[in-house]
């Protein structure tokens, strides 16, 4: 035998076909405290954590069709943490009775050279923002309560301006495709937050205009 | 009874006109004032006709009181039951009754005057007057006392009732206070009408599947009449039956394998410790149960690892015991001892006289390691940063972008198991104690070169060190040649010699013993060398490992030859770990009388050459040890100046 | 990860690739090195599709290394490089409308891993489209991350088993703005592999896999120089033995004024000896020229 046979194992590894189940809502700053209080009670017994992230949204325009969107995010509070590169697919139409928005999702942890690399690949930054808030966990569910600020001077995360007087609340679960029981859990969790906040499935593609 | 403060009443004159009624609007309707004639009627009505002038009455019969009473009643009856028809009606009635009375009186008097039908006798007034009040007083006193007593009794009853109520209230309050205290230390939640608590270490990072729930019970239906026991507590807890009693993990090392029949029946129970004063009974109970839970978790973890880990000699898990063989012929047993009641502990007590072979250090370490494991579990689950990233092991997230290699990843993924660690620690403990024993037994067996061990006080769980000095008594200052540093590890002992040589010994006891014996034998020769320096003798040759002579079973013999300051005498010493020492003295030729004639060395100058050797009968030499003997010998062979 | 040096070892005179590799293994074992499993490095090439501007699009290489099993390295030649987790491969699948995978350009390097004290030696066979192209030797000196501090030591060590084939200091180290004393990392290793792969892709190894070129009968001439540019086409492969069969390479022929600028190259299957391949080629075609 001269050379070993090529490709005895598939090289593409990683987690294929992960889905994000998402519910969104917003809460006025005035009611934020009571929502956080409620979440502290409902979620897993962990120290509540705050975060400050900087997200850059990149577009790759092809010859035809929609541009390819990638989201690159880094933590400002943990500067040594790896960057997070995220691809989010179109929301699945499928089952109307499903309680949560379901979309394909690829999460990549990447080194700090990510912006340069994306530029080299042909991506161009579309917009950026800074988001900060609280993160909670309940089993596989993640609850992020955050405010969104626009970056006034490109690249300068110090100089920002709040977008609104309310906080964005996202309840999300990452799961392999076809695990619709997840959305059931999410719904019942969202029920428990009901008078404070109504979490709904919001299709971002229909919100464009 | 009149203990209360005097009540003050203020009186106010009513308004001149009488109020007849008050309207809903508040307007008052007054009674119209009386006219002149009405006023006169009113006043006339007030005349008491029955109250005649005293003179008239006194002059009359001796029974005015009775009559008067009767009359008044009569009069009142008429007044009450006959509504007045006209204003002067009552006056007329009174006058009429007065007339009737007068007529009756008149008739009575006329009858008495006749003395035919009726006679008047004097009534003994004193007697009746003196007696009746006394009886009456007694009765009234009795009556008033009775009422007073009744009042007192009533009050007492009221008081006792309120006290009982208070107590009940307090118990209720006590329960709540206790519950609050319980809540501050234990996790509680309400399910239906029950209060359930959580004993498990899950919130601390434990993965043990035992639910570990306990129930809080209200213990207030205690009999009030009886004396409340001292340790009474309105709150009680009910723990799962499998967590009752006390438990501990026992780690021990046995030298020989016990009968297989004995396996798994290690049952040595310690008496539950008396609870310290001041702590709540439920707290003691819960802590004991939690300890049982932790012991169970440790044992479960160890058993799981014992089954999973592949070792040369498989670990045995039998009932409540895990048996492992760290070294051949040595058995490490870890057992879970759980006593659920008094009965069993009493049964186990006859076995008590057994020597206590607990390895408390290891038991403690097991607990500590379990908690470390918990902590690791807890700290490994952290929130992702940036927040959009998925949950996961924080450091595994770094593995991709930071290009961790295999070694780093395997470091992250799994640390050594509990069982592996504890076996390693047990090995080390065993090796350390056996090393100590080896050194001690050598020190006590062999007197001449003395062996001293200086143990360091601070050890690692896997490594400790001891400094071994071999000296001769009385010559500690000059004979410091052998200083050994023994680093005792898990599997082996590393010996660092003073000159920097490193020798690795295995866990076999014989190796260390042989090594020390050979070092001790070398020490003697080194001591001679040192002594020679002090005594002014010259070292002619020195060898740690002599290639001549009988072969030693342990190590090599060492030898030295020293010459006296003037060169006349020479002493040769050969010392072997097994063969012992042999000392030979070489004399100058001149001192030997029966020197065999030689053809070669005939000139007198050759007399200065040293001649044949003679062995010294060393055991007959005077002196308490080898070096002292040697000193004496050297002194004897050194000519006096 | 320490400082690594990747170099190409020429196939010994009169020996096949595997024989040369065996010789290297023997040398290492004689040295006292211990075999510690195997390793692989692979490289996929992607080409951007949406390049409207007309300037030649840069190739994107996505590489994996068994030494860092959870990572995925994406590189542009001479440009920025990204280290990411293996989900990056999934992302590339999503990006397939914008970046096309040049299947034929897939390069792999597999072999054994040896440890000698602090050195880690990996001897690998570089294969492209199931044909062995050359031999790579990677030497890593684990305790040090600064190339300037240990290069001489490494050089001396490499000399002990490679003899005269000692490589020069890898250009990745010298090219850094901080010079030789910047810490080396995984990307440096992958850059070296990429350089090696690209070198092997452009060249051919005499006597190994590409032996003959088939030209049109009337244009059969010797002494042509050319460059292999296109993917191999698996031909006549049986399902039972996928590595069996003849493979065609399309090669451009440079420097020609007339005639076709393109020719077909035969390469033998992985399990065939060169002699068998040659005879088969001779049977099936007319004129052969040494290429």
Each residue of A136-179: pLDDT tens digit? 988 889 999 999 999 999 888 888 999 999 999 999 999 888 78
Maximum pairwise Cα distance, chain B:
205
**Taking the CB of residue B293, how many other CB atoms lie within 10 A of it?**
22
User: Would you state the pLDDT for residue C240?
Assistant: 45
- How far apart are the C-alpha atoms of B238 and B210, rounded to whole Å? 16
- How far apart are the C-alpha atoms of A88 and A19, rounded to whole Å? 9
- In the block, residue with structure tokens 């007030």: B46
User: Would you state the pLDDT for residue C285?
Assistant: 40
The reply to whether B210 and B315 lie within a common domain is: yes
User: Would you state the pLDDT for residue A106?
Assistant: 92
- How far apart are the C-alpha atoms of C183 and C147, rounded to whole Å? 7
In chain B the first and final C-alpha atoms are separated, in Å, by: 125
Helix (H) / strand (E) containing A20: strand A18-28
The reply to whether B219 and B340 lie within a common domain is: yes
Q: Is the pLDDT of residue C5 over 60?
A: yes
- Asked whether the beta carbons of residue B387 and residue A75 sit closer than 8 angstroms, the reply is yes
Instruction: Count CA atoms closer than 13 A to C206's CA, side-chain side.
Output: 6
Pairing type for strands B482-488 and B464-472 reads antiparallel
Torsion of CA C91, C59, C85, A9, to 10 degrees: 80
The answer to whether B316 touches B323, Cβ cutoff 8 Å, is yes
Task: Report residue C242's pLDDT band, with 50, 70 and 90 as the boundaries.
Answer: very low
Chain A positions in Cβ-Cβ contact with residue C85 (cut-off 8 Å):
14, 108-110
Sign of CA dihedral C271, C275, C278, C283: negative
Nearby residues of B337 by Cβ (< 8 Å), 6 or more positions away: B247, B248, B249, B250, B266, B267, B268, B269, B320
- Asked whether the beta carbons of residue B385 and residue A86 sit closer than 8 angstroms, the reply is no
Judge whether B267 lies within some domain: yes
Identity of the highest mean pLDDT range in B10-24, B320-334, B377-391, C85-99:
C85-99
The answer to whether A97 touches A74, Cβ cutoff 8 Å, is no
Sign of CA dihedral B49, B55, B56, B58: positive
Q: Which pLDDT tens digit goes with each residue over B456-471?
A: 888 888 999 999 999 8
User: Would you state the pLDDT for residue B15?
Assistant: 60
Q: Does A5 touch chain C (CB under 8 A)?
A: yes
The reply to whether B444 and B478 lie within a common domain is: yes
User: Would you state the pLDDT for residue B601?
Assistant: 65
| Beta-carbon pairs below 8 A across chains A and B | 66
Domain ranges, residue C41: 3-202
- Hey, is B107 helix, strand or coil? helix
Q: Which pLDDT tens digit goes with each residue over B482-492?
A: 889 999 999 89
The answer to whether B555 touches B577, Cβ cutoff 8 Å, is yes
Mean confidence (pLDDT) of chain B = 79
Angle subtended at Cα A123 by Cα A117 and Cα A124, rounded to the nearest 5 degrees = 115
The reply to whether C158 and C268 lie within a common domain is: no
User: Would you state the pLDDT for residue C272?
Assistant: 46
- Asked whether the beta carbons of residue B389 and residue A140 sit closer than 8 angstroms, the reply is no
- In the block, residue with structure tokens 């002594």: B531
Which residue from A minimizes the CA distance to B400?
A: A109
- Hey, is B51 helix, strand or coil? coil
Pick the closest to residue A36 from A51, A54, A23, A48 (CA basis). Answer: A48
For the ranges B514-523, C25-34, C224-233, C266-275, which has the lowest average pLDDT?
A: C224-233
Angle subtended at Cα A96 by Cα A93 and Cα A100, rounded to the nearest 5 degrees = 80
- In the block, residue with structure tokens 């044949």: B612
Q: Is the pLDDT of residue C216 over 70?
A: no
Task: Report residue C97's pLDDT band, with 50, 70 and 90 as the boundaries.
Answer: confident
Q: Which chains touch A (3 or more CB pairs under 8 A)?
A: B, C
For the ranges A92-106, B48-62, C88-102, which has the lowest average pLDDT?
A: B48-62
The answer to whether B210 touches B298, Cβ cutoff 8 Å, is no
- In the block, residue with structure tokens 């470390």: B372
Task: Report residue A14's pLDDT band, with 50, 70 and 90 as the boundaries.
Answer: low
The reply to whether C151 and C217 lie within a common domain is: no
Judge whether B85 lies within some domain: yes
The reply to whether B204 and B284 lie within a common domain is: yes
- How far apart are the C-alpha atoms of B46 and B248, rounded to whole Å? 102
Q: Does C71 touch chain B (CB under 8 A)?
A: yes
Tokens of C184: 């080396």
User: Would you state the pLDDT for residue A110?
Assistant: 93
Percent of chain B predicted with pLDDT > 70: 79
Chain A positions in Cβ-Cβ contact with residue B383 (cut-off 8 Å):
46, 49, 51, 135, 137
Mutate one of C41, C87, C133, C134 to test the A interface: name it (highest A CB count within 10 A): C87
- Asked whether the beta carbons of residue B400 and residue C71 sit closer than 8 angstroms, the reply is yes
Q: Which pLDDT tens digit goes with each residue over C116-125?
A: 989 999 999 9
CATH of A18-201, one of 3.10.150.10, 1.10.260.40, 3.60.15.10, 2.40.320.10: 2.40.320.10
The reply to whether C179 and C264 lie within a common domain is: no
Task: Report residue B258's pLDDT band, with 50, 70 and 90 as the boundaries.
Answer: very low
User: Would you state the pLDDT for residue B27?
Assistant: 79
User: Would you state the pLDDT for residue A23?
Assistant: 92
- How far apart are the C-alpha atoms of A62 and B594, rounded to whole Å? 119
Domains: count for chain C: 2
Q: Which pLDDT tens digit goes with each residue over B262-275?
A: 333 344 444 445 54
The reply to whether C264 and C136 lie within a common domain is: no
The reply to whether C143 and C46 lie within a common domain is: yes
The minimal CB distance from C83 to the residues B397, B401, B406 is found for: B401
The reply to whether C143 and C58 lie within a common domain is: yes
Angle subtended at Cα C245 by Cα C244 and Cα C249, rounded to the nearest 5 degrees = 125
User: Would you state the pLDDT for residue C195?
Assistant: 92
Q: Which pLDDT tens digit goes with each residue over B1-59?
A: 445 567 777 776 656 677 777 888 877 787 777 788 888 888 877 776 666 554 444 44
- Hey, is B639 helix, strand or coil? coil
- How far apart are the C-alpha atoms of B33 and B189, rounded to whole Å? 78
For the ranges A155-159, B89-93, B531-535, which has the lowest average pLDDT?
A: B89-93
- DSSP-assigned letter for residue A200: B
- Asked whether the beta carbons of residue A122 and residue C98 sit closer than 8 angstroms, the reply is yes
Name the strands in the sheet holding B246-254, side by side, starting at the edge strand that comes first in the sequence.
B246-254, B331-339, B321-324, B316-318
- How far apart are the C-alpha atoms of B243 and B197, rounded to whole Å? 14
- How far apart are the C-alpha atoms of B355 and B362, rounded to whole Å? 17
- Asked whether the beta carbons of residue A1 and residue C110 sit closer than 8 angstroms, the reply is no
Domain-terminating residue out of B65, B80, B114: B114
Question: In this predicted model, which residue has the larger pLDDT, B259 or C48?
Answer: C48
- How far apart are the C-alpha atoms of B149 and B156, rounded to whole Å? 10
Chain B positions in Cβ-Cβ contact with residue C84 (cut-off 8 Å):
400-401
CATH number at residue C173: 2.40.320.10
- How far apart are the C-alpha atoms of A176 and A165, rounded to whole Å? 35
Q: Which pLDDT tens digit goes with each residue over A53-75?
A: 999 999 988 777 788 999 999 99
* Mean pLDDT score, A12-38: 84
The minimal CB distance from B390 to the residues A78, A83, A107 is found for: A107
The reply to whether C261 and C180 lie within a common domain is: no
Percent of chain C predicted with pLDDT > 90: 36
Nearby residues of C236 by Cβ (< 8 Å), 6 or more positions away: C245, C246
Cα separations in angstroms, C107 against B176, B181, B233, C273: 74, 69, 78, 22
Q: Is the pLDDT of residue B259 over 50?
A: no
- Asked whether the beta carbons of residue C68 and residue B404 sit closer than 8 angstroms, the reply is yes
Chain B positions in Cβ-Cβ contact with residue A108 (cut-off 8 Å):
400
User: Would you state the pLDDT for residue C53?
Assistant: 53
The reply to whether B301 and B235 lie within a common domain is: yes
Judge whether B15 lies within some domain: no
Domain-terminating residue out of C202, C221, C248: C202
Q: Which pLDDT tens digit goes with each residue over B373-386?
A: 888 877 767 788 88
The reply to whether B536 and B440 lie within a common domain is: no
Domain-terminating residue out of B521, B555, B576: B521
Task: Report residue B176's pLDDT band, with 50, 70 and 90 as the boundaries.
Answer: confident
- Hey, is B30 helix, strand or coil? strand
The answer to whether A168 touches A147, Cβ cutoff 8 Å, is yes
Angle subtended at Cα B33 by Cα B30 and Cα B35, rounded to the nearest 5 degrees = 155
Task: Report residue C207's pLDDT band, with 50, 70 and 90 as the boundaries.
Answer: very low
Judge whether B185 lies within some domain: no
Domains: count for chain B: 4
For the ranges A172-186, C174-188, C248-262, which has the lowest average pLDDT?
A: C248-262
Helices then strands, counting H and E runs in chain B, come out as 13, 22
The reply to whether B432 and B541 lie within a common domain is: no
User: Would you state the pLDDT for residue A169?
Assistant: 94
User: Would you state the pLDDT for residue B595?
Assistant: 62
User: Would you state the pLDDT for residue C34?
Assistant: 93
Percent of chain B predicted with pLDDT > 90: 15
Domain-terminating residue out of C202, C220, C244: C202
- How far apart are the C-alpha atoms of A151 and A163, rounded to whole Å? 10
Domain-terminating residue out of C143, C173, C202: C202
- Asked whether the beta carbons of residue A51 and residue B385 sit closer than 8 angstroms, the reply is yes
- Asked whether the beta carbons of residue C68 and residue B403 sit closer than 8 angstroms, the reply is yes
- How far apart are the C-alpha atoms of A89 and A96, rounded to whole Å? 18
DSSP line for C142-210: TT---HHHHHHHHHHHHHHHHGGGPPPPPHHHHTSTTGGGSPP-HHHHHHHHHHHHHHHHHS--TTSSE
Q: How much is the ipTM here?
A: 0.86
The reply to whether B492 and B543 lie within a common domain is: no
Which residue from A minimizes the CA distance to C19?
A: A2
Mutate one of A42, A69, A80, A81 to test the B interface: name it (highest B CB count within 10 A): A81
Cα separations in angstroms, B391 against A53, A55, A100, C89: 16, 18, 19, 20
Question: In this predicted model, which residue has the larger pLDDT, B352 or B460?
Answer: B460
* Mean pLDDT score, B65-79: 48
The reply to whether B543 and B492 lie within a common domain is: no
The reply to whether C184 and C217 lie within a common domain is: no
Phi/psi at B11 (nearest 5 deg)?
Answer: -110, 140
- Hey, is A71 helix, strand or coil? strand
The reply to whether C154 and C62 lie within a common domain is: yes
Domain ranges, residue B506: 422-521
The reply to whether B340 and B463 lie within a common domain is: no
Nearby residues of B77 by Cβ (< 8 Å), 6 or more positions away: none
The reply to whether B448 and B306 lie within a common domain is: no
- In the block, residue with structure tokens 């009405």: B38
The reply to whether C188 and C90 lie within a common domain is: yes
| Beta-carbon pairs below 8 A across chains B and C | 38
Task: Report residue C174's pLDDT band, with 50, 70 and 90 as the boundaries.
Answer: confident
- How far apart are the C-alpha atoms of C171 and B633, rounded to whole Å? 76
SS (H, E, C) B280-341: CHHHHHHHHHHHHHHHHHHHHHHHHHHHHCCCCCCCEEECCEEEECCCCCCEEEEEEEEECC
Task: Report residue B337's pLDDT band, with 50, 70 and 90 as the boundaries.
Answer: confident
The reply to whether C238 and C103 lie within a common domain is: no
Long-range contacts from B158-164, C-beta under 8 angstroms, 24+ separation: B164/B224
- Asked whether the beta carbons of residue C186 and residue B409 sit closer than 8 angstroms, the reply is no
Pick the closest to residue A125 from A28, A36, A196, A56 (CA basis). Answer: A56
User: Would you state the pLDDT for residue B47?
Assistant: 72
């Amino acid at each position: 035998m001269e050379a070993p046979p090529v490709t005895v194992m598939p090289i593409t590894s990683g987690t294929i076909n992960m889905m994000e189940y998402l519910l969104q809502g917003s809460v006025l700053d005035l009611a934020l405290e009571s929502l956080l209080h409620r979440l502290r009670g409902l979620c897993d017994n962990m120290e509540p954590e705050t975060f400050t992230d900087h997200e850059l949204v990149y577009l790759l325009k092809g010859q035809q069709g929609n541009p390819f969107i990638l989201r690159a995010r880094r933590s400002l509070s943990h500067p040594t943490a790896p960057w997070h590169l995220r691809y989010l697919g179109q929301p699945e139409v499928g089952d109307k009775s499903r309680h949560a928005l379901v979309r394909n999702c690829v999460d990549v942890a990447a080194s700090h050279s990510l912006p340069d690399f994306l530029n080299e690949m042909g991506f161009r930054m579309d917009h950026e923002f800074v988001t900060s808030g609280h993160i909670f966990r309940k089993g596989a569910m993640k609850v992020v309560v955050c405010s969104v600020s626009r970056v006034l001077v490109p690249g300068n995360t110090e100089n920002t301006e709040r977008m609104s007087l309310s906080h964005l609340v996202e309840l999300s679960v990452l799961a392999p495709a076809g695990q619709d029981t997840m959305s059931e859990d999410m719904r019942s969790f969202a029920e428990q937050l009901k008078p404070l906040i109504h979490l709904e499935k919001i299709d971002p593609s229909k919100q464009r205009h | 009874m009149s203990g209360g403060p005097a009540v003050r009443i203020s009186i106010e004159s009513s308004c001149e006109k009488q109020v007849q009624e008050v309207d809903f609007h508040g307007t008052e309707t007054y009674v119209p004032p009386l006219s002149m004639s009405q006023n006169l009627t009113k006043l006339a009505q007030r005349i008491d006709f029955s109250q005649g002038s005293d003179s008239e009455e006194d002059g009359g019969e001796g029974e005015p009181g009775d009559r008067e009473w009767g009359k008044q009643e009569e009069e009142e009856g008429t007044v009450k039951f006959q509504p007045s028809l006209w204003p002067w009606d009552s006056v007329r009635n009174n006058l009429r009754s007065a007339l009737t009375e007068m007529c009756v009186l008149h008739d009575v008097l006329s009858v008495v005057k006749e003395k035919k039908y009726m006679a008047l006798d004097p009534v003994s007034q004193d007697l009746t007057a003196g007696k009746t009040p006394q009886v009456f007083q007694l009765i009234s006193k009795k009556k008033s006392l009775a009422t007073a007593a009744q009042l007192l009794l009533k009050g007492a009853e009221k008081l006792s009732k309120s006290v009982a109520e208070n107590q009940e209230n307090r118990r209720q309050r006590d329960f709540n206070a206790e519950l609050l205290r319980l809540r501050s230390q234990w996790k509680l939640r309400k399910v239906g009408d029950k209060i359930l608590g959580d004993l498990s270490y899950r919130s601390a990072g434990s993965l043990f599947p035992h639910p570990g729930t306990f129930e809080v019970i209200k213990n207030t239906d205690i009999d009030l009449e009886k004396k409340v026991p001292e340790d009474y507590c309105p709150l009680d807890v009910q723990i799962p039956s499998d967590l009752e009693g006390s438990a501990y993990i026992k780690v021990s090392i046995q030298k020989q394998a016990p009968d297989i029949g004995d396996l798994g029946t290690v049952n040595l129970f310690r008496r539950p410790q008396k609870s310290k004063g001041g702590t709540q009974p439920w707290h003691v109970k819960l802590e004991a149960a939690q300890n049982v839970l932790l012991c169970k978790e440790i044992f479960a973890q160890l058993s799981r690892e014992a089954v999973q880990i592949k070792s040369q000699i498989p670990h045995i898990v039998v009932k409540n015991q895990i048996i492992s063989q760290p070294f051949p012929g040595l058995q490490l047993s870890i057992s879970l001892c759980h006593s659920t009641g008094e009965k069993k502990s009493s049964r186990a007590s006859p076995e008590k006289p057994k020597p206590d072979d607990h390895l408390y250090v290891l038991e403690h370490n097991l607990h500590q390691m379990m908690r470390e494991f918990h902590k690791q579990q807890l700290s490994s689950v952290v929130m992702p940063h940036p927040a959009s990233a998925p949950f996961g092991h924080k450091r595994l997230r770094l593995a991709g972008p930071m290009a961790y290699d295999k070694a780093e990843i395997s470091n992250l993924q799994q640390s050594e198991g509990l069982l592996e660690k504890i076996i390693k620690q047990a090995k080390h403990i065993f090796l350390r104690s056996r090393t100590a024993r080896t050194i001690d037994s050598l020190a006590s067996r062999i007197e001449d070169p003395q062996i001293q061990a200086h143990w360091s006080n601070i050890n690692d769980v896997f490594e400790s060190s001891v400094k071994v000095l071999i000296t001769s008594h009385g010559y500690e200052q000059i004979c410091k040649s052998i200083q050994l540093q023994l680093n005792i590890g898990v599997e082996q002992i590393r010996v660092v010699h003073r000159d920097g040589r490193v020798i690795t010994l295995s866990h076999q006891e014989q190796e260390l013993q042989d090594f020390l014996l050979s070092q001790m034998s070398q020490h003697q020769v080194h001591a001679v060398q040192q002594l020679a320096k002090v005594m002014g003798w010259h070292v002619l040759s020195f060898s740690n490992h002599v290639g001549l002579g009988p072969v030693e079973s342990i190590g090599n013999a060492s030898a030295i030859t020293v010459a006296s300051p003037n060169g006349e005498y020479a002493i040769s010493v050969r010392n072997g770990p097994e063969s012992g020492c042999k000392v030979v003295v070489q004399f100058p030729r001149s001192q030997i009388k029966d020197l065999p004639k030689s053809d070669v060395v005939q000139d007198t100058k050759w007399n200065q050459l040293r001649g044949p050797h003679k062995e010294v009968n060393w055991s007959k030499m005077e002196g308490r040890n080898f070096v002292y003997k040697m000193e004496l010998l050297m002194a004897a062979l050194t000519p006096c100046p | 990860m320490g400082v690594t040096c990747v170099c190409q070892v020429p196939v010994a005179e009169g020996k096949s690739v595997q024989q040369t590799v065996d010789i290297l293994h023997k040398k290492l074992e004689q040295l006292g090195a211990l075999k510690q499993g195997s390793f692989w490095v692979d490289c996929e090439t992607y080409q951007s599709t949406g390049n409207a501007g007309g300037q030649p699009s840069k190739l994107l290489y996505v590489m994996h290394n068994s030494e860092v099993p959870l990572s995925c390295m994406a590189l542009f030649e001479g440009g920025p490089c990204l280290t990411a987790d293996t989900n990056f491969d999934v992302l590339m699948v999503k990006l397939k409308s914008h970046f096309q995978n040049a299947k034929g350009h897939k390069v792999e390097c597999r072999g054994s891993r040896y440890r000698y004290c602090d050195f880690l030696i990996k001897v690998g066979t570089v294969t492209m489209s199931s044909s062995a192209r050359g031999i790579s030797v990677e030497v890593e000196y684990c305790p040090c991350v600064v190339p300037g501090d240990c290069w001489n030591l490494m050089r001396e060590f490499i000399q002990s088993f490679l003899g005269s084939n000692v490589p020069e200091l890898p250009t990745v180290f010298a090219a850094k703005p901080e010079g030789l004393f910047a810490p080396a990392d995984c990307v440096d290793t992958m850059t070296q592999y990429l350089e090696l792969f690209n070198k092997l892709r452009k060249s051919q190894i005499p006597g190994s896999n590409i032996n003959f070129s088939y030209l049109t009968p009337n244009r059969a001439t010797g002494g042509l120089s050319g460059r292999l540019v296109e993917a191999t086409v698996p031909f006549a492969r049986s399902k039972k033995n996928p590595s069996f069969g003849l493979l065609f390479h399309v090669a451009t022929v440079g420097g020609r004024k007339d005639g076709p600028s393109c020719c077909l190259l035969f390469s033998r299957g992985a399990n065939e000896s060169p002699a068998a391949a040659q005879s088969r080629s001779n049977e099936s075609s007319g004129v052969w020229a040494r290429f």
